[in-house]
Amino acid sequence: MSENRMQHAYRLAREQYAELGVDVDSALKALAAIPISIHCWQGDDVGGFESRSGEIGGGLAATGNYPGKARTADELRGDAAKALSLIPGKHRFNLHASYGDFGGRPIERDEVTPEHFAGWIDWARSLGIGLDFNPTFFGHPRATDFTLSHPDAGTREFWVRHGRACRTIGAAFGQALGTPCVTNFWIPDGMKDSPIDRVRPRERLLDSLDSIFKDRIDPAQNLDAVEGKLFGLGFESYTVGSHEFYFGYALTRRVLYTLDTGHYHPTETITDKLSAVFMYLPEILLHVSRGVRWDSDHVVILNDDLEAIAQELVRGRFVARTHIGLDYFDASINRVAAWVIGTRNMLKALLKALLEPSATLRQQELDANYTDRLATQEDFKALPWGAVWDYYCANAGVPPWTAWLADIKQYENDVLSKRA
């Protein structure tokens, strides 16, 4: 599409939205202020850069063997920078503890320090972005069925030390980059078959978490978050860190609660949980993925579920209280393209929600005029939000539509194809 045609389409769209009381310029300004935290593990199939090798573990599995995955931290940084250059707006990057610059040396998980991530800090500073962080409680000989809830005190203490070390790294990110790092705690602890004792593992987990979080860190540098899960592969019958456990923990310890779109029963939706948890918590971390037959972590697409999440964030005025991150890994397609597709779709969903005539819809609902509410919602779907998105991308210096694919194909030819 030529620039003149794009500008013309945008002007017409802006006029249409204005007739419904929607200020398109304000919507675009609001969208530009929303950072998405893009996850490192899409770039290398959750492998990390420790000297050890083997299965990911923890109920995690990346499928596919598309060529060109990142093998080093430098390669991953290059791939991520390419993806960021094709996504409008200013965003963040989310690291796991296993992704440090370890120099091929065997560094134990409880010995990781900010120095192992100095390269990431320099990289993020050069791009003007923030970093987020995650302890890595999987892919390790001491990560069996249990970590922080392990019956062996020595094993628990090892993972407690890892958790403390990761909070220190998160604080270093926040201090160096001038934006708080969200350090998210997820563990795979659980059992394949029904346990006799469900209580004591949760008591041990509670004690371990309290030990990790006992030292206060300036929230301007680091924000702690805890993430529950329904079940995982190999942990189908019992998950120690369930939704109820972590919501209670976040509520009583005043840490962030993490809602992951794939971590609930298929008949549950994150959309309805948002307003409920915000009744009690000031902020949350939202991990956006796409489950196919439950928590399969497919690349995020612009479907009804994603749009409903974005609508709830905007309608409830929760955007400023939500740290939005992505969480999927697909090794069956170009990994850099997967980053771009998923992040752009998250932004598209937010844009559509910001363009919604919410004042009109809210008044119709207050008046119990549900016929008009439904008609307005359905007619809104046909409005030319795509013209607004193209304009937003062009203004940000990012190719609209699938024009960005040419850059990806060139990058694959010049860089990815040369990797063994």
**What domains are defined for the chain?**
35-343 (3.20.20.150)
In whole angstroms, how far apart are CA 62 and each of 43, 55, 132? 11, 10, 22
Task: Classify strands 256-260 and 222-227 as parallel, antiparallel or unpaired.
Answer: parallel
pLDDT score for 56: 78
At 136, is the secondary structure helix, strand, or coil?
coil
Whether residue 401 lies in the annotated active site = no
- Candidate list 45, 295, 330, 390, residue with the active-site label: 295
**Paired residues of 239 in beta bridges:** 190
pLDDT score for 236: 86
Q: What pTM, to 2 d.p., does this model score?
A: 0.96
pLDDT score for 1: 62
- Candidate list 44, 227, 312, 356, residue with the active-site label: 227
Region 23-31 average pLDDT: 97
Q: What's the rounded Cα separation, in Å, for the pair 406 and 280?
A: 46
pLDDT score for 300: 96
Whether residue 295 lies in the annotated active site = yes
Is 101 in contact with 73 (CB distance < 8 Å)? yes
Region 287-299 average pLDDT: 89
- Crossing angle of helices 370-380 and 358-366, in 10° steps, is 160
Choose among 30, 35, 54: nearest CA to 326.
35
Whether residue 120 lies in the annotated active site = no
- Candidate list 283, 297, 312, 390, residue with the active-site label: 297
The neighbour count for residue 209, using CB atoms within 10 Å, is 24
pLDDT score for 266: 76
- Candidate list 45, 327, 330, 390, residue with the active-site label: 327
In whole angstroms, how far apart are CA 268 and each of 238, 246, 298? 18, 17, 18
Percentage of the residues of the chain whose pLDDT score is greater than 90: 87
Q: Hey, what amino acid is at 353?
A: A
pLDDT score for 22: 95
Region 368-389 average pLDDT: 95
Region 175-195 average pLDDT: 96
Whether residue 140 lies in the annotated active site = no
Region 14-40 average pLDDT: 97
Please give the mean pLDDT across all residues of the chain: 94
Choose among 157, 186, 153, 40: nearest CA to 101.
40
Q: What's the rounded Cα separation, in Å, for the pair 386 and 383?
A: 8
Q: What's the rounded Cα separation, in Å, for the pair 331 and 341?
A: 14
Whether residue 218 lies in the annotated active site = no
- Candidate list 229, 298, 323, 348, residue with the active-site label: 229
Region 37-63 average pLDDT: 85
Q: Hey, what amino acid is at 286?
A: L
pLDDT score for 54: 63
- Candidate list 186, 339, 385, 404, residue with the active-site label: 186
| pLDDT tens digit sequence for 400-416 | 877 899 999 999 999 99
| pLDDT tens digit sequence for 97-117 | 999 999 989 999 999 999 999
Whether residue 75 lies in the annotated active site = no
Give the helix, strand, coil percentages of the chain, each rounded to 5.
50, 10, 40
- Candidate list 263, 323, 348, 352, residue with the active-site label: 263
Whether residue 44 lies in the annotated active site = no
Region 317-342 average pLDDT: 97
Q: What angle do CA 95, 100, 104 make, to 5 degrees?
A: 150
The more confident residue out of 93 and 145 is 93
